[in-house]
Amino acid sequence: MLANFAAILRAIQEFEHKELLKQNISHAPTIGSMYEGLSRTILEAMVPKGLKLQIVEGFVEFPDKRLSKQIDCMLVKGEGNQIPYTTSFKWQVKDVLAVFEIKKVLFGRELYDSHLTLESVYSAFNQYLAMDGVIDEVRGLRFVEMTGRSPSGSLVDNSLLDYFGYENHAPIRVVFGYEGYNSEEGLRRAYVKHFEKNLLHKRPPISPSEFPHLIVCGSSSLIRFNGHPYLGEMDGNGYWPLIGSTTENPLRQLIELIWYRFASDFDLPFPFDEEIGRKKKSVLLAARLFEPVPEELGVEYAFQVYGVEQATQGEIDWKPKVFSLAEWKLLRALQLSGPTDSVDTCLATWANRQNVDVIACAEKLQDAKIIVEHKGKLVVYRDRLFTTFHEGEILTVFDYEKARLNEYLKKLGPETKRGRRKSEKVAGKLHRAVADWYRETGIERDPANHGIGRVRLT
């Protein structure tokens, strides 16, 4: 659904862009107004009417009443103040969901101008954050997903937690250029030049949060991996992918960004009927936080200078996680009991009876980024899971991946009679293992949380 919706909007946008070119207008302000108007029309189609959001132009207001640079389009909630005798508004930064810089043509100069404009919005939100603060419940989850471990309490780890918390609330910042560099490779090289000329020597150094979330130039895009929704994995040297490029429909990227925010801010179900960003992104810029001296935070950036062909490996082949019977038994026991010591007596006794190798199974669950070891205890970080069976295999996905799992199962086709019997046998063993865990630990059985099989595990 999402891909089809984005394709329709993209077709409308491209058609209207051609119509604007036929107008033979050379007056720069009028050209700017035409493309801003087209962009607002496309954005309006992306926003559910029931959310009572508005798309306006004007200025983002700092908490101290200073104003950002002029913004072409803003997606906002609440109420703003209209500037007398204009169609522009002043809007408090806490009520700004997204801001957009619209360019008919995007080249180096426009990249820099757009960065300065969006940087002023970044500064406004930083001031708001310093004054009011934002407590974010998902930042630990994003940390685990990226690093594969629990936070250590170090300055670097705490700063990464702050990064993810910030990103879940900061205004989405987008540069949308209708024309410009004619290839993904051209956009990548131009951004490297822009960074080296304008950003590399900034003092203090540019923060990972300061980069725009999305830069569109014709059919190519640069997108930032900030965990909302895109996220890369940290390597052994502490670098994580920060910016990647793609030629996927840019409106799909934009829909994913703003709808993910809707899901967070308005508690709406995000339409994960297809994999987010199914086409892999070619990494362009990686980042690393470090301590050059104790208690002082530094940041390093590294460009991936190789070509797109070396960075992109085509479509992502999505599959559910397949766990063994022993692995799933351990996962379910940890879900029911909460953080558990890996040498806990009850766990050891139960595991021996159930033929569960706790260490080996925990390693597999940690590799899947569902559990972590924190302060000597095994902790389930991803407990909103959905599990089903097919041909005797235990298939597990995160709760938001259920629709993708249905697509996967459709491709596999219905179970055979033999496979269905195997699945029923496995399900029975899992039920008995859970009942045994209740008996071993004395945990009171919760009828609403017994789920094995085609139910959500919470």
Q: How does pLDDT run across 89-110, given as a tens digit for each residue?
A: 999 999 999 999 999 999 999 9
Query: Of 43, 45, 64, nearest to 55 (Cα)?
Result: 43
Q: Do 408 and 288 share a domain, yes or no?
A: no
Overall size of the chain counted in residues: 458
Q: What is the pLDDT along the chain (458 residues), one digit of tens a residue?
A: 677 888 888 899 999 999 998 898 889 889 989 999 999 999 999 998 889 899 999 999 999 999 999 999 999 999 999 999 999 999 999 999 999 999 999 999 999 999 999 999 999 999 998 877 665 556 777 888 788 788 888 999 999 988 888 888 899 999 999 999 989 999 999 999 999 999 988 888 899 999 999 999 999 999 999 888 888 888 888 999 999 999 989 999 999 899 888 887 887 766 654 455 445 678 999 999 999 888 899 999 998 755 554 444 344 567 888 999 999 999 989 888 888 888 888 899 999 999 999 999 998 998 887 888 877 788 887 657 888 999 999 998 877 677 778 888 888 899 999 999 999 999 999 999 999 988 888 876 554 444 333 222 22
* Domain termination residue (choose one: 311, 329, 362): 311
The pairing of strands 88-92 and 54-61 is parallel
Which of 280, 311, 342 is the last residue before a domain boundary?
A: 311
Record the pTM: 0.80
Q: Could you tell me if 277 and 130 lie in one domain?
A: yes
Whole-number Cα distances in Å, 386 to 174, 187, 322, 328: 34, 40, 12, 12
Residues contacting residue 336 through CB under 8 Å, at least 6 positions apart: 434, 437, 438, 441, 443, 449
Buried residues in 211-225 as b, exposed as e (16+ CB within 10 A): bbbbbbbbbbbbbbb
Domain co-membership, 269 together with 337: no
- Whether 76 and 181 map to the same domain: the answer is yes
Asked if residue 434 is part of any domain, the answer here is yes
- Quote the pLDDT of residue 112: 94
Same domain, 205 and 229: yes
Condensed to tens digits (0 to 9), the pLDDT of residues 314-327 reads 445 678 889 999 99
The answer to the question of residue 40 being in a domain is yes
Asked whether residue 316 is assigned to any structural domain, the reply reads no
Tally of domains in the chain: 2
φ and ψ of 369, to 5 deg: 60, 40
- On whether residue 183 sits in a domain, the answer given is yes
Q: Domain of 436?
A: 321-457
Q: Is residue 352 part of a domain?
A: yes
Residue entry with tokens 């205890």? 377
Q: How far is residue 38's CA from residue 17's CA, in Å, rounded to a whole number?
A: 8
Does residue 168 sit in helix, strand or coil? coil
Give the Cα-Cα-Cα angle 138, 167, 280 (nearest 5 degrees): 90
Domain boundary among 289, 311, 333: 311
Same domain, 216 and 72: yes
Packing angle, helices 417-441 and 325-337, rounded to 10: 40
Map residue 220 onto helix, strand or coil: strand
Domain-located, residue 273: yes
Q: What is the pLDDT, as a whole number, of residue 1?
A: 67
Q: Are 283 and 416 in the same domain? A: no
372/234 same-domain check: no
Residue 400 has what pLDDT? 65
Q: Are 45 and 91 found together in one domain?
A: yes
| Pair 286, 342 in one domain | no
Same domain, 203 and 182: yes
265 with 333, same domain?
no
Domain annotation covers residue 45 = yes
